[in-house]
């Protein structure tokens, strides 16, 4: 990120902190709240204002930089227009509970607009399964479907405190490191700061807020645009990789992709619509096994980090196709361990996570949230 943008960080932090606190009352007053139901993992009404407290300052900052003629904003208008549209859609859904068909229609429209006007789409599989370059019509079609899938995948994992925010923060960091450039570190820095602040309130007891669809759909769109830009061969982001770029993209977004696909397959095998909500996501499984919200989020994020590190270590010496099977095996082992050794795992993880994170939570609650 350009050093000229560093002075913008302190006021951005102050604005996000202030909005996060002020919008709590706004959420209660105007109905931007999450009502608990049979699938909920909470029992109280909580404001859904975390997403707008992050994206209002971020979008206004983008507008200011556009007016100030910053090139990385002016040349990336499809991203900013698409993100604004998705955040507005999410905010409306938080308030009005929009129908799924209308939401998919808007999401597909935004995905088509972004892919076509940005020119970022998957145009090659880089030798994966013996496939190289693919026709533009096929690449654009697959990319639009992928963007919509990722928008909703991040939304679907947003069922436990800190999970969608934490995994998205990790994914944004990895993409920004791999691609470099002012725009990617700008996104990671400012959206990342917003996510860290949000998680502080999200884990708070007295000033608790949820991200809402404005936040989770917005994060899904950001990650989808990052992976599209990363995988388009003309952008030159893949020359130094030791692992197939498609595999790298899937790994970075592994948790929302795998968990959503797993749930869809289970529902279809039971003769149900894949979009019928239930408690089959991994975070629901962990909660039902006795994990706390904090323990569930930190457990999943830790394993996502371990899997990424494992692939970075083994990629230089193993074939990409073999790495796919290794990753599937690791995911299966984690799933079986959670299923059959949940008591021992829960006791260990509760002690481990508390010893590391409780001091941080105490400081946050004392000096910021309360």
For residue 311, tell me if it sits in a domain.
Answer: yes
**Confidence at residue 265, expressed as pLDDT on a 0 to 100 scale:** 82
For residue 1, tell me if it sits in a domain.
Answer: no
Question: Any idea what the Cα angle at residue 222 is, between residues 20 and 127, rounded to 5°?
Answer: 155
State the residue range of the domain holding 355.
7-369
Structure tokens at 71: 């090139």
E strands in 54-209: 124-128, 131-133
Tens of pLDDT, residue by residue over 76-122, are 999 999 999 999 999 999 888 888 889 999 999 999 999 999 999 99
d(CA 323, CA 310): 10
For residue 79, tell me if it sits in a domain.
Answer: yes
For residue 2, tell me if it sits in a domain.
Answer: no
For residue 52, tell me if it sits in a domain.
Answer: yes
> If you average pLDDT over residues 23-34, what whole number do you get?
83
The pLDDT confidence band at residue 363, using thresholds 50, 70 and 90, is: low
Look at the chain and report how many structural domains it folds into.
1
For residue 357, tell me if it sits in a domain.
Answer: yes
d(CA 217, CA 84): 11
For residue 26, tell me if it sits in a domain.
Answer: yes
For residue 138, tell me if it sits in a domain.
Answer: yes
Structure tokens at 110: 């935004």
């Amino acid at each position: 990120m350009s050093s000229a943008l560093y002075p913008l960080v302190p006021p951005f932090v102050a604005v996000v902190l202030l909005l996060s606190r002020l919008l709590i009352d706004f959420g209660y007053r105007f109905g931007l709240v999450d009502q608990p139901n049979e699938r909920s993992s909470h029992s109280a009404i909580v404001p859904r204002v975390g997403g707008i407290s992050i994206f209002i300052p971020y979008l206004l900052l983008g507008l200011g930089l556009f007016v100030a003629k910053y090139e990385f904003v002016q040349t990336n208008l499809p991203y900013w227009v698409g993100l604004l549209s998705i955040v507005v859609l999410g905010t409306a859904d938080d308030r009005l509970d929009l129908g799924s068909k209308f939401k998919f229609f808007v999401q597909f429209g935004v995905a088509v607009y972004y892919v076509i006007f940005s020119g970022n789409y998957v145009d090659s599989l880089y030798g994966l399964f013996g496939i190289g370059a693919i026709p533009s019509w096929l690449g654009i079609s697959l990319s639009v479907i992928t963007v919509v899938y990722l928008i909703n995948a991040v939304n679907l994992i947003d069922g436990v405190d800190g999970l969608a925010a934490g995994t998205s923060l990790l994914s944004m960091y990895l993409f920004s490191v791999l691609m470099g450039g002012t725009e990617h570190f700008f996104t990671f820095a400012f959206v990342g700061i917003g996510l860290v602040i949000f998680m502080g309130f999200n884990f708070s007891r007295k000033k608790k807020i949820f991200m809402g669809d404005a936040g989770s759909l917005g994060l899904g769109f950001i990650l989808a645009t990052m992976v599209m830009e990363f995988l388009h061969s003309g952008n030159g982001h893949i020359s130094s990789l030791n692992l197939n770029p498609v595999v790298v993209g899937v790994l970075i977004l592994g948790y929302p992709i795998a968990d959503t696909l797993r749930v869809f397959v289970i529902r279809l095998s039971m003769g149900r619509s894949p979009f019928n909500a239930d408690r089959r996501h991994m975070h629901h499984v962990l909660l039902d096994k006795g994990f706390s919200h904090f323990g569930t989020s930190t457990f999943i994020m830790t394993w996502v980090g371990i899997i990424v590190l494992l692939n970075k270590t083994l990629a230089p010496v193993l074939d990409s196709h073999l790495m796919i099977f290794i990753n599937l095996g690791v995911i299966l082992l984690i799933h079986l361990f959670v299923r059959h050794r949940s008591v021992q795992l829960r006791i260990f993880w509760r002690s481990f996570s508390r010893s590391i994170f409780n001091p941080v939570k105490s400081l946050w609650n004392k000096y910021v949230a309360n």
